[in-house]
Each structure stands twice: as C-alpha cells, then as structure tokens.
Amino acid sequence: WRLQAPLIAEINRLKREKDAVILAHNYMTPEIFHGVGDYVGDSLGLAKEAAKSKARVIVQAGVHFMAETSKILSPEKKVLIPDLQAGCSLAASITGADVRLIKQRYPGLPVVTYVNTTAEVKAETDICCTSANAVQVVEEAARLWGVDRVILIPDEFLARNVARQTDIKIIAWKGRCEVHERFTAADILEIKEAYPDAEVLAHPECPAEVLEVSDFAGSTAAMNDYVLTRKPKRVVLITECSMADNVAADAVDTEFVRPCNLCPHMKRITLENIYEALLHERYEVTVDPLIAERARLAVQRMVDLPP
Ligand code: 13P
Ligand code: SF4
C-alpha cells in the first residue's frame, strides 16, 4: 500500500486533469478499491453511477461487460477499460443469435438478462437484472407481460436460485461463473465445522447446494451491507477473494475466514494499467449505436425500477 502511494496520488491527479471518474467493482484489489475508486460497489450500483455521472471520461475498474453497460447508459462519454481482455465466463456463454433462438422457441415470454452479458445480448433483451434485483425483475416482467414463465439467462445457478424464491417458472441457460461454480456444499460444511460461530454469506452465482447450507445469499453490495450493519463476530464471504479484503478494511470488529476464488478477469485490472488508461485515454470501449439503442432500453428499465 505505502509503496503504491505515489502511483495512487498520480492517478488521482490525472483524474482531475482529465475530468475522469473511476467506477470500481467490489472485486478490485484494495489499493484500487480504496485508493482510486470514486464509486465502488456491485454491478447494479456501478450501472446507476454510470447513468448519473457528469464526468467526461469513465474508467471502468471491472470487466468488459461493465464498461459496455456504462457506454450504453452514457453514450456521450469516453469509457475506458484498462485491459480489453478483462472478460467474463458468463458473458462468453451466450450470443445474440442464441437469444434469438430461445425467443423463437418460447414466443411471447419476456427475456430477462443478467447484466453479465455483451451489448449484443442485451439488445435482444426485454429487461436486465443483476444479482441484487433478479427476483424483483423476474416478478415485474411476469406481471407486465401477464405470464407465469420468464426466460432468465445466462447464469444457470442464478436462475435456479431465483426459481427457489418465486412462483414464476424460469427458463434458464447453461452459463456459469467460473469463480462461483467452484464452491461446493462440502467446502461450506467444512468451514462450519472448523468455525461453528462463522456466518456464511454466499453469492447467488454459486450452486444451489452451496446456498442451501449458507446463512445468507446476496450480491456483493448486499454482503457488504450485511457485514457493516450486522457486525458479525466472524464471517465467511463465499465469493471472489478481494471482496473480503475490501470489506475487512471497514469492518474492524469482524474476523474473516477466507476461503475464496480469484477471478482472473477482474485481476487483469491493476493500478499500473489504470494509470496508463488515464494517461493515454485507452482502451476506449465502443458499442454499435443501433445495438446500444436497443440494449439501453433493457438496462434503463432495470435502472428505473423502484429501489
Ligand atoms: P455483483 O457485484 O452484481 O454481485 O456481481 C458479481 C459479479 O460476479 C460481477 O462480475
Ligand atoms: Fe464473470 Fe464470475 Fe469473474 Fe464476475 S466473478 S467477472 S461473473 S467470471
């Protein structure tokens, strides 16, 4: 941290010079999250900030689909991602052509798409959701369309976890998050045996068997709120590794047990490439305007939902 202080100071100076903001996801390393992030949070929170921001430049300290979402909501801004290879196994699991085929197979059903998708997929979507609002969005879509079945893609596990919480029938896809699919119920039971007082908080991208033995399921922002408001004595966050590091900095009374998996895509973003991104205003993320216009409807519908 201390060694990084000059680079952090230089990034913060460049942000002012360039009229830029850094939107940092909860999975960024602490020096990014606490050192240079102007807005930090989950996918939903960052999308809302992108829509509101008045800055000329947005640097997305996150993965490519997040930068595309920012561009879709703020087409007049320059949106930069420090590494173009920062992808996502969920976004890579489905194409626009796949969604068109699903729609042919289930005509008349609303398509709810997780934000972890490309702009091309969002353009085929009726309304987007994140892990923070998926149940609400599915129920709202069923109500608006007057149906009892909804297409929810591409995360198979998120779809299954939403299905457990609603009477709406869910048609799912086979995408998975390569970070969360690796957790098993046996991992959780082992932790509970070693630390009987630990509260287990798991992300809804985990397999259903993991959520069944966890104490709470929620988005990264919901986990953050849980720890900061309920102040558990001991906690385990079943998610990406940086999450616990970032919350721990603010949760001094809580002890963290730290089994976690790294997201190789999120970890492509570093202080060094954020600095280069700001300095050279690279790498710009663009979205075909016709695709962006259709995708915007789906994202905006989600952003406009009541909290
Ligand atoms: P949330 O931050 O929306 O919970 O999503 C987690 C995630 O995997 C983002 O890539
Ligand atoms: Fe995608 Fe999973 Fe990484 Fe999030 S944690 S960016 S869902 S691979």
Ligand nearest to the CA of 265: 2
The length of the chain in residues reads: 307
Ligand nearest to the CA of 88: 2
Residue 292 makes CB contacts below 8 A (sequence gap 6+) with 71, 72, 75, 119, 123
Q: Is the pLDDT of residue 307 over 90?
A: no
Q: What band does 255 get if pLDDT is binned at 50, 70 and 90?
A: very high
Q: pLDDT tens, 256-282?
A: 999 999 999 999 999 999 999 999 999
Q: At what angle do helices 5-18 and 271-280 cross, to 10 degrees?
A: 30
pLDDT mean over 143-168: 97
Ligand 1 binding pocket, CB closer than 6 Å: 26, 42-44, 116, 130-132, 177, 205, 219-220
Class of domain 91-176: alpha beta
Q: Which residue's alpha carbon is at the smallest distance from atom 7 of ligand 2?
A: 177
> What stretch(es) of the chain map to CATH 3.40.50.10800?
2-87+267-286, 91-176, 180-262
Range 2-87+267-286: architecture per CATH: 3-Layer(aba) Sandwich (3.40)
Range 180-262: architecture per CATH: 3-Layer(aba) Sandwich (3.40)
Q: pLDDT tens, 192-239?
A: 999 999 999 999 999 999 999 999 999 999 999 999 999 999 999 999
Q: Which residue's alpha carbon is at the smallest distance from atom 1 of ligand 1?
A: 42
Mean pLDDT of the chain: 97
Cα 64 to averaged position of ligand 2 atoms, centre (Å): 11
Q: What band does 70 get if pLDDT is binned at 50, 70 and 90?
A: very high
Percent of the chain residues past pLDDT 90, beyond the cut: 98
pLDDT mean over 292-298: 98
The confidence score (pLDDT) of residue 191 equals 96
For residue 216, what is the DSSP state?
E
Cα 220 to averaged position of ligand 1 atoms, centre (Å): 6
- CA 298 → CA 23, 37, 100, 128, 219, distances in Å? 21, 27, 15, 5, 20
Q: Which atom of ligand 1 is nearest to the CA of 130?
A: 3
Ligand nearest to the CA of 223: 1
The confidence score (pLDDT) of residue 66 equals 97
DSSP string, 65-122: HHHHHHHHH-TTSEEE-S-TT---TTGGG--HHHHHHHHHHSTT--EEEESSS-HHHH
The confidence score (pLDDT) of residue 2 equals 66
Q: Is the pLDDT of residue 1 over 80?
A: no
78 lines ligand 2 (CB under 6 A): no
